[in-house]
Structure formats: C-alpha cells, structure tokens
Amino acid sequence: MAKNIPLNQRIIFALDVSSKDDAERWLDRLGDQVQFYKVGLQLFLAGGFPAIEMILNRGCQVMVDLKFFDIPETVALAVRELRDKGATFITVHGNDPILRAAIKERNTAKILAVTVLTSFDESDLRAMGLTGTIQDLVYHRAKKALELGCDGVVSSGLEAQRLREGLGDRLLIVTPGIRPGSNDAVAADDQKRIVSAGEAIRNGADHIVVGRPIRDAADPVAIVRQMQDEIAAAL
C-alpha cells in the first residue's frame, strides 16, 4: 500500500503565516527535516507567487491550498495560472463541472478534491440539511473525484481507511487535522475530526498536513521528528 514517498515529504507543513519572510524563516528552521510545504489563503494573499517561488528555490514541494470554488471557467483559468508555477498539489472544492475544469488545465500539477473540511462534524451536516453520515459523504465525493480523473482527495484520517479499502492505491489521500492524541480528546481549536500522524498513515493517508502542533511547539523540529517516527512505524 505504501507509496515510495520520502519521509521528509510525508509531512506537509502548513505555512499559515503573514509574510514571505516569516515563511522563509520556517524553512530555515525546519531545514532538511521537511521538504513539502502548504501555501494557503493567508500566505498566498500576503506573499503571492514569490512565496511559492521561494519554497521551490529551496528544492521543496508546494501544495497550493486555495480550495478553488467558483464557476468552472474561472476555476480553469485559476488552475492555468498555477499549473506552470511549480505547484505539486492544487486543491479544488466543488462539484463535477468544477473538478473537470480543474483537471483539464492541470498539466503536471495534481488536483486534490476537498471532500469535507476537518472543522465539520455530524452536527454541521445536520445544520446544512444533510441527513447522511460524514463517512458516506466523504466516500461518495472521493469516488466521484477519482472517476472524474482527480489525482487525490483531502480528507480526515477518520475516513482514510474506508477510502483506501474501497478506492485502492491509485488515489492520493492528503490528511489535515493532525493532532497529538486521538479524536476522543479533541484539541481546543476549530478542528473536529482529528487523528495522530501515525493513525493517519496506518489508515491509508499518503501525506499529512500539519500546522499548529509544529508551529506552536517549543521545539518544532522535535515534534516533526516525533511525527516522522510515528509515520515510519506505521509504514
């Protein structure tokens, strides 16, 4: 099941910072220990393409996590702008026509379909008028994304095992919501569906996205190494 992914690319560190300079300081701090970084809305608005170029110039990979959700033509044009900028992963959050538009323009970038945000739980689905379970919704969306030609999905580690067992090894699974401990002891933040690094990989995730547990640690490199030890044991 395990893909040939180097250990220092299994963790995608979320550069949720307010400037390109702050991002660069994190690359200096983590060094060779982490070679994959996420650029989300905050850093992209603050640092734009120069922030992505800085990461690439360090020899690292980039997940551009802007969760494109718009009319298909707009999403296609946005992916076209990104595809030749060196992004490894581009996230899209939409229906079939939106995903098809992104796939058509991806070139060598990989399109990841966002299933259900890890800040959602069953009560949020009920509030939206949905009656099924999160597990079923995530599986349905992931199956459809794979059929359409997406390279992978973003899902919590709680759903990863069902996705891997039902959809096979071809699907890339990228898992945010990584916290020390388990989902039985939810951290006091906005993430509701969480797992540990080792659990995510055991359940079938290829990569984990980690931000606050590393960023807020007294010794971020020690936390990275601890998570990498968990990942290595799970593999």
How many whole angstroms from its chain centre is CA 55? Answer: 17
Return the CA Rg of the chain: 17
The residues facing 47 across adjacent strands are none
Axis-axis angle for helices 157-167, 134-148 (nearest 10): 50
Strand pairing class (61-68; 172-175): unpaired
Q: Tokens standing for 226?
A: 């601890």
Picking from 169, 155, 233, 226, the residue whose alpha carbon sits closest to that of residue 11 is 226
Catalytic residue flag (residue 67): yes
In angstroms, rounded to a whole number, what is the distance separating the alpha carbons of residues 219 and 132? 41
In angstroms, rounded to a whole number, what is the distance separating the alpha carbons of residues 186 and 22? 28
In angstroms, rounded to a whole number, what is the distance separating the alpha carbons of residues 169 and 172? 8
> Which residue among the candidates 67, 85, 104, 143 is catalytic per the annotation?
67
Cα dist from 162 to 86, 108, 169, 205, whole Å: 31, 28, 12, 11
Axis-axis angle for helices 96-104, 72-83 (nearest 10): 30
| Catalytic residue positions, numbered | 67
